[in-house]
Chains A and B, each alone.
Chain A
């Protein structure tokens, strides 16, 4: 008889990066690399487990920008082109490493992986990976939860409730289009919670969301089960919180698994290592070196000296680490169960891109963990948050504390000297967006593609949500690719402001609007402006009209 639950949550997200105006665009590689290294390996392992009938439950978020990119024909074609190049490179590498047995085996491994990726991507799922996740959700092993429209960090947008509402509602409606049902749970970007955001989730029909540990530990009143059972916010939406101990084992720089010397080294890539003329066709088309994804070395130790990667050693380590993780969860649950009148639930959320992209052996570790939990013990069972709420519909009521899972636990990552300048513009644009829907109240509701005002309104809303993405301030803070993040914020806000001015002046340039629509085509099938309509105001104005007519 199991004594408690483990809820593995993988948060998959990338910002919307799609540049049709350029043939090759460097930042699109974020998406291509994540597909090859994270999303496809996850899909492959889920497929294997389902085929073998292993019982498991995983919770995953697939944010709207990521799902949109997965469904975008241009990016699908470009990914195939990218993958073909990789296959070509790996074939060349087979030849080049013919007399280097350590590296030849690795070249074979990559060659096989890339070819498998192509099978999975192009043949099995017809270039649209959301189909795979939908399939696993329909089978019942995966629960995909919703998330914000563009990963807006809600505490910093909360000054304008319409912004928060639009982020949540667009996210939910987009989810319905992709997965064919309503989301049960919701991933607050960066676990950014503030009291009141749960009310917006409630309106959107969400049943639960996730918090960082201190958001629940510091809840008022103090939760009696700490982070090992959910609480209901006063709105009735359940809040589950991250277990710090299990997070640390995977994330931590000192105790975390991914730093093991036998694991693959992330920073040594043949794109940077091999002779320039040889590697030139496979790096950036303008000639500067970038990662290719083929990495032949293991972490080895804390110095520049690296030895060749040994897949069999790494696999062994992944199995050991999975066993260690499970053992610790068993002990934890034994301990907790003795102090609780219900089964404890351990919430272990991670960025999905950690597994595979950063920690190459991560997907392997997940697979070992799932198999071990299914066959090697009886204490822990994998479960989703929704299943927990079905088993325990009665929970304590409490108001969580504002928090995030970012560095220091609050808003500082997204609000500091390097990025605070964006907020006056974002907030101003949000106010103006509401102003636009008030000035053109009839348009957003009955939108037709032919109505240029309506198109402009929707495009203004798209530009606003794209500018609100938390990725931009995050990148500005961490210091890599800063200029790209700055450019994106500026470009979207400038496009927004131009539409705003054009609408007020009654002077929209249709060519320009069409071009902007084709570039920033996220949510092209949603009437984005309608989410900024103040419904209550609308209702009262209708009432007043009605009263006037009656008179």
Chain B
């Protein structure tokens, strides 16, 4: 019987990792991912040495900082009790190897690594046994890691997920991820030979830091006035060229003050986990309203942005919550059922697997004398040997001008064809039954 009782002290994590979905390969674990023995033997006191402490080769940040804790021989544990003590006072014993409870915790280490530690209590083991039945013996302990960026995770709607076979003895793991700035959640459980996964516990949500600078260069100012912080943006200049100082001199421009709602909407796009909160709040409030307020001002290129705003909350509290991306307190019991997707104008229906999307492309083709030259604007177009040509464009919403020019080989004759193609605003609608 694969009954799991007490975990051995020296745990070795299996180095075999498997991958079940989306052909994503899970990297091998680093050596240091091995579970740390929870019992630390009392080190031996080194022999008295006449030699100075080992020389650190070069002074550097870490070595300089280490010298705060001057290297010196180990100091033996307290054996002699203070005269005032009535009994010997010892509390340097080992920490418990088990709390007999079930938990799974993720901690981001850097943009590409997350540390997970867990324990499965007896209740959870019983639960797994009950759910898996006779398959339990042939099932493997699995850490299932979900990418839940911009999702209101409900157990089924992760962007992607992968399994780590952690074996029955490991109690912690270093998880390598391929992307930075991603939100993760994980579940600890068992996978039966038929692929069925039974989770015993779900972790907190974490967000890995960004590696490299942000692509967003919006400038929102904030002014402190007697303890109050007033955010504003400056109105873009319509008919003037931008000054040499791209950002500066807000003082002479027209200010558009922003409300906390605006900031909330704006920041909900920056930080993947904030979606979670937004979605959870959304359930509590009235119908969503499209807001164009920020989009037209915040992006310098005039790119149209659309966002959703949710009112009806205590604003200050919401703002506080919204920024608390990696806090455990953001775990929403049971998961909410709705979510939003970022980007331009797209909305997704959660829970159901049904999806629907379209794309548009534009193909332009023509022909002329094989030895002539054809130009589109200032770009020369390569002709096939028979004088035909074709061009393929992505076709987003908007108007694309197409001004072609053909020049005969002897340069004596020139012809132009001017036209344009327009895709009008696409509307996305979801009808709920």
**A interface residues with partner B (beta carbon < 8 Å):** 14, 20-22, 25-27, 29-30, 33-34, 155-156, 158-161, 194-196, 198-199, 217-222, 224-225, 232-236, 251-254, 256, 258-259, 266-269, 272-273, 276, 284, 287-291, 302, 304, 340-342, 351, 353-354, 357-359, 389, 393-399, 401-403, 407-412, 415-418, 420-421, 423-425, 427-428, 471, 475, 478, 480-484, 486-487, 490-491, 493-495, 497-498, 511, 515
Contacts and interface: CB of A to CB of B under 8 A. Distances in A.
B64 A351 contact: yes
B246 interface: yes
Contacts of A289: 48-50
A494 B82 contact: no
A427 B32 contact: no
Contact of B323 (A222, A234, A410): A234
Interface string B9-53: 000000000000000000000011110111010110000111111
A156 B204 CA distance: 13
Contacts of B66: 478, 480
A415 B109 contact: yes
Interface of B: 31-34, 36-38, 40, 42-43, 48-53, 55-75, 77-78, 80-82, 85-86, 89, 91-96, 99, 103, 105, 107-111, 113, 115, 117, 119, 171-172, 204, 207, 209-225, 229, 231, 245-250, 263, 267, 270-271, 319-320, 323-329
Nearest to B220: A397
Contact of A290 (B62, B72, B223, B329): B72
Contacts of A233: 323
Contacts of A156: 107
Contacts of A398: 220
A399 B71 contact: no
5 contacts: A161-B327, A233-B323, A397-B221, A412-B110, A480-B71
Contacts of A25: 75
Contact of A259 (B31, B59, B247, B328): B59
Given A389-B224, A421-B36, A259 B58 contact: yes
B59 A21 contact: no
B94 A288 contact: no
Nearest to A493: B95
B77 A487 contact: yes
B64 A515 contact: no
A417 to B, nearest CB: 3
Contacts of A354: 64-65
A225 B323 CA distance: 23
A389 B226 CA distance: 12
Contact of A399 (B75, B107, B271): B271
A411 B324 contact: no
Given A33-B70, A236-B229, A403-B209, A410 B111 contact: yes
Nearest to A195: B325
A425 B95 contact: yes
B208 to A, nearest CB: 8
B214 A417 contact: no
B69 A475 contact: yes
A354 B67 CA distance: 9
B52 A251 contact: no
A394 B222 CA distance: 5
Contact of A21 (B31, B73, B78, B229): B78
Contacts of B49: 288-289
Closest A-B pairs by Cβ, 7 of them: A341-B248, A417-B32, A253-B60, A236-B229, A410-B110, A253-B58, A221-B216
Nearest to A424: B117
A511 B323 contact: no
Given A20-B82, A411-B108, A420-B117, A34 B75 contact: no
Contacts of A482: 43
B73 to A, nearest CB: 5
B217 A224 contact: yes
Contacts of B50: 272, 276, 289
Contacts of B55: 267, 304
Given A258-B64, A357-B67, A359-B64, A511 B77 contact: no
A295 B214 CA distance: 49
A494 B92 contact: yes
Nearest to B52: A272
Contacts of A159: 105, 107, 204, 326-328
B177 to A, nearest CB: 13
Contacts of B223: 393-394
Given A304-B55, A359-B64, 20 more contacts: A14-B68, A21-B78, A30-B69, A196-B323, A217-B213, A218-B214, A220-B271, A225-B247, A251-B64, A267-B52, A288-B72, A342-B248, A353-B68, A410-B111, A411-B109, A415-B107, A478-B69, A480-B71, A481-B69, A493-B95
B60 A288 contact: no
Contacts of B221: 394-397
Contacts of B34: 417
Nearest to A486: B40
A158 B270 contact: no
Given A20-B82, A217-B213, A424-B119, A291 B64 contact: no
B209 A218 contact: yes
A314 to B, nearest CB: 15
A161 B325 contact: no
A224 B231 CA distance: 16
A515 B89 contact: yes
Contacts of B217: 221-222, 224
Contacts of B248: 340-342
A423 B117 contact: yes
B239 to A, nearest CB: 22
B210 A411 contact: no
Contacts of B59: 253, 256, 258-259, 266, 358-359
Given A158-B327, A424-B119, A475-B69, A256 B99 contact: no
B107 A396 contact: no
B67 A251 contact: no
A409 B68 contact: no
Given A399-B267, A471-B69, A358 B249 contact: no
A354 B59 CA distance: 10
Contacts of A423: 105, 107, 115, 117
Interface centre among B68, B214, B220 (most CB of A within 10 A): B68
Contacts of A408: 110
Contact of B213 (A199, A218, A341, A425): A218
A287 B320 contact: no
Contact of A396 (B92, B93, B209, B219): B219
A208 to B, nearest CB: 11
A401 B270 CA distance: 11
A288 B326 CA distance: 47
A395 B62 CA distance: 34
Contacts of A399: 267, 270-271, 323
A235 B62 CA distance: 33
A236 B258 CA distance: 14
